[in-house]
Amino acid sequence: MPNDTINNAIKKASSSNENYEEITYEGYGPNGVAIIVEAATDNKNRTAADVRHAFDKSGGNLGTTGCVSYLFNKKGVIVIEKEQTSLSEDDLMMLAIDAGAEDFNSLDEVYEITTKPSDFEKVCEKLEEAGQTFLEASVQMVPTTTISLDQNGQEKMERLIERLEDLDDVSNIYHNWEE
C-alpha cells in the first residue's frame, strides 16, 4: 500500500469530527430480568435498532427510560483477590472503611468493597497507597434485587448478553440475573 494512501487515511481519521454520544437503554430479558445497556455511538438510530434487535431475538424487549433503572444503585465496586493482599481481612476492612467505603464483603476468593460514586477515587487511592492491587475497580450499576433463572432462561439470557456484547457501540451491560 502506498505511503500517501496510509497518510491520507491517518489524516482523515484524526481530523474526523464525529461526536459520540453516551446513551443508556433499559429493558427486560427472559423471565423479567432487568437489563441496563450503556453505549457510546455516533449514530443513535443504528445503535437503538441494533440493541432492540438483540433484545427481540433473545426473548426480551427494550423498554422506556426509567423502566428498570430504579432496580439499580450506582456504586463504586473494588475487588481485591485474597491471595494478592498481604493485609489481614480486618486490616483491609478498616483501611477501606476509614477511606470512605460503604461496605466490605469477604467472598470465596475475593474481597468486595463498595463505595458511593463520589468516594470511589478517594478509596482507590488510599488502597493503592497501601500497596493493594485490584482485580476490578469501576463505578457500576448494582442491582438491589436479583432474579434466578431456570436452565432455559439462563440459556436465553446468555444469548442476549452475548448479542449485546457483540455490538460495537455497547460499552457496559448491567443486569439483575443471579448467575
> What is the CATH topology of the domain spanning 73-143?
Alpha-Beta Plaits (3.30.70)
CA–centroid distance for 134 within its chain: 16
- The pLDDT, as a whole number, for residue 16 is 52
Superfamily holding 20-70+144-175: YebC, transcriptional regulation domain (3.30.70.980)
Q: Can 20-70+144-175 and 73-143 be said to share one CATH topology?
A: yes
Q: What is the pTM of this model?
A: 0.80
- The pLDDT, as a whole number, for residue 9 is 61
Contact in structure between 42 and 18 (CB atoms under 8 Å): yes
- The pLDDT, as a whole number, for residue 12 is 55
Domain boundaries, the chain: 20-70+144-175, 73-143
Low-confidence ranges of the chain (pLDDT < 50): 1
- The pLDDT, as a whole number, for residue 19 is 80
- The pLDDT, as a whole number, for residue 5 is 63
Cα dihedral 175/177/178/179 (nearest 10): -90
Q: How far apart are CA 67 and CA 118, in angstroms?
A: 25
Q: How far apart are CA 175 and CA 157, in angstroms?
A: 10
Contact in structure between 160 and 29 (CB atoms under 8 Å): yes
- Integer CA distances (angstroms), 76 to 103, 119, 138, 149, in order: 10, 8, 6, 27
- The pLDDT, as a whole number, for residue 11 is 58
Give per-residue pLDDT as tens, 54-78: 999 988 999 999 999 999 999 999 9
CA–centroid distance for 81 within its chain: 19
